[in-house]
Amino acid sequence: MEGRHTVGGLMNRLLEDFEDSMQPFWECATAGENSLGEIIDEKENFGIQLDVRNFRPEELSVKMQDGRLLVEGHHEERNDRHGSVEQHFIRKYTMPKNVLQDSLESHLSDQGILRITAKKKAVENSQFKNIPIQFKSDKQ
């Protein structure tokens, strides 16, 4: 029965072709699953970690602008067997007021984890003042 196909076989082939054509988009979508990153807020340090493994160092930038940290990654358009793919992301973080912006550093690991860290201002030991509680009856 050459030349004859079952409906199930045709549907399977159609779905496989669709899945193959969508592969670049799935890769882009899953690359961004952890794209918000992890925020690390410790007593003396503040940090952000982002998984940027799909970007080369020269495709990334980290900037401070008006108290906001901007992290950007951009792939130029490239062709693959299904068409062309371009990736771009921008993450903006409002920095806590106690972060020393001059101490900001960024490091990219071999595994593609971008770590941005900064020192925090020293917390002043606050003096406690006892406030006496006065009792006043509501009955007159």
Is 74 annotated in a binding site? The answer is no
Is 107 annotated in a binding site? The answer is no
Give a three-class secondary structure readout of 45-95.
EEEEEEECCCCCHHHEEEEEECCEEEEEEECCCEEECCEEECCEEEEEEEC
Is 5 annotated in a binding site? The answer is no
pLDDT of residue 76: 83
User: Angle at Cα 64 formed by Cα 78 and Cα 57, nearest 5°?
Assistant: 30
All structural domains of the chain with their residue ranges: 7-119
pLDDT of residue 104: 96
pLDDT of residue 54: 87
pLDDT of residue 32: 47
In this prediction the pTM is: 0.61
Contact present, 57 and 78 (Cβ < 8 Å): no
- Residue in this structure with the two tokens 């699953």, named with its chain if needed: 33
pLDDT of residue 140: 65
> What span, in angstroms and rounded, lies between the C-alpha atoms of 50 and 35?
6
Query: Which CATH number is 7-119 given?
Result: 2.60.40.790
DSSP class of 34: T
Conformation bin of residue 47: beta by default, left when phi > 0, alpha when psi is -120 to 50: beta
Using the CB atoms, write b or e for 76-85: b if 16+ within 10 Å.
eeeeeeeeee
Walk along the chain (140 residues) and give the pLDDT tens digit of each residue.
Answer: 456 678 777 777 777 777 766 665 555 444 444 455 899 999 899 999 999 998 999 999 999 988 899 999 998 877 877 788 888 999 999 999 999 999 999 999 999 999 999 999 987 766 788 888 888 888 76
pLDDT of residue 106: 96
pLDDT of residue 30: 46
